[in-house]
Amino acid sequence: MATTMTAPPSARTNIGPMIIIGVLFFIMGFFTWLNGPLISFVKVAFTLDDINAFLVPAAFYISYFVLALPAGAVLKRTGMKKGMVLGLFVMAIGAALFGEFVRIRIYPGALSGLFVIGAGLSLLQTASNPYISVVGPIESAARRIGIMGICNKVAGALAPLAFGALVMKGVDAFLNRVTAMPTGPERETLLNDFAARVFWPYMAVAGLLVVIAIVISFSSLPEIKPAGANSESSVGHAKSSIFSFPHLWLGVLCLFVYVGVEVMAGDAINTYGQGFGLRLEVTSHFTFYTMVAMLVGYLVGSALIPRVITQQRYLAASAVLGVLLAIGAYLTHGGVSVAFVAALGFANAMMWPAIFPLAIKGLGSHTEVGSALLIMGIVGGALIPQVFVHLKVHIDFQLAFLVLMVPCYLYILYYGMAGHRVGQGVAR
């Protein structure tokens, strides 16, 4: 039985929980950052255009919006540890569904599998982010989430490389061969064989998720009640309504635009590179470079926060860097422009670790619901890339990228400078 804690454990006692949560962040990163190469994969396997291929991140991230609040309700009944285990089982089901539906080339079914994976991830996210935020002092939460982010982004860097080696090898020659063939049984057989490349990898991953879920269920991971560890600080009295925390709602919008720009830099970078005529097999690895930049950003941010700079000031500085890099991508061309997009990973790295604890600070008994609302903001990863692929049909793709990214970074700048203080009653 898990130990229940209402206050953060000491630095010595939280090492074990951080290792377990680090494994979960690795899993979340691996699945999340497969979306970039998956977009390129489904374009070939299902012969899709960009708009339909980008339903991959849409199906994945919409599940967070639909299921985050139900996930919060589930966690109130199960506790965080059992909720994490349940999330892993749900992800295993989704991985098996995706592998099977891709094998038989039913695209709506494949999208449903991604939706189920996202449902499991919404449980993991809703539990693990507040858990790691309150497992120690809230003032250093960004540093702890940053360490978790290193686990997440190492997985994110490995995912496109593994997917490229197992699935996308020789894809350009394959695509040229299929394109030259007339529609008929032979062409369909080739496409079926290509689609089937993902079946066994996803089945293996589904099995691994089940094993990890069982291991965690028997682990000594302590149960922490965020409401007790994240006491309310509302100018002398507890607030009775979730609507009494404007800094939370501004934080939800901030996470919405942040996840949007993160997905644009990590998943849409492949499509962005194809806009310059770069080969599909080459662009399918571009997510790797964004993840490496994010990993470097996490290492730098974890070293500086809060020892040298506060999490809110680092957030503001990161937003300014995001604006400059987005402009750099617009003003350059080809590989240099793609490099600017990949470098956005560095600017984005410590945004989630800073936004999340700033938004849930002082929520007290509303912490679980507030966390669920923030997870709902992940839907930005579905909507903002969709706006991009529709917009680039009508205007230059580099301009479409610029006009979406800069306003998002400017809002993140506002939240880091002032938005996180709204309604708090105390200068920070």
For 205-260, what is each residue's pLDDT tens digit?
999 999 999 999 988 777 766 555 555 554 444 556 888 899 999 999 999 999 99
pLDDT in tens, 172-216: 888 888 888 888 899 999 999 999 999 999 999 999 999 999 999
CATH of domain 9-224+243-421: 1.20.1250.20
| pTM: predicted TM-score of the whole model, two decimal places | 0.85
Per-range mean pLDDT, top range of 13-27, 28-42, 298-312: 28-42
Element (H, E) at 316: helix 311-331
The pLDDT value given to residue 375: 85
Q: Report which residue type is found at 271.
A: T
Mean pLDDT of 349-373: 85
212 CB-side CA count, 13 A: 23
Mean pLDDT of 297-306: 86
The pLDDT value given to residue 142: 64
Q: Tell me which of 36 and 6 has the higher pLDDT.
A: 36
Distance from C-alpha of 123 to C-alpha of 117, rounded to nearest angstrom: 10
The pLDDT value given to residue 81: 85
Distance from C-alpha of 81 to C-alpha of 359, rounded to nearest angstrom: 23
Residue ranges covered by each domain of the chain: 9-224+243-421
pLDDT at 410 over 70: yes
The pLDDT value given to residue 367: 78
pLDDT in tens, 23-75: 999 999 999 989 999 999 999 999 999 999 999 999 999 998 998 888 878 88
Mean pLDDT of 69-98: 90
Average pLDDT of every residue of the chain: 87
Distance from C-alpha of 360 to C-alpha of 418, rounded to nearest angstrom: 15
Mean pLDDT of 10-27: 77
Element (H, E) at 218: none
Tokens read off for 423: 């309604």
Residues 6+ apart with CB under 8 A from 168: 37, 40, 41, 280, 281, 284
Of all residues in the chain, the percent with pLDDT exceeding 70 is 89
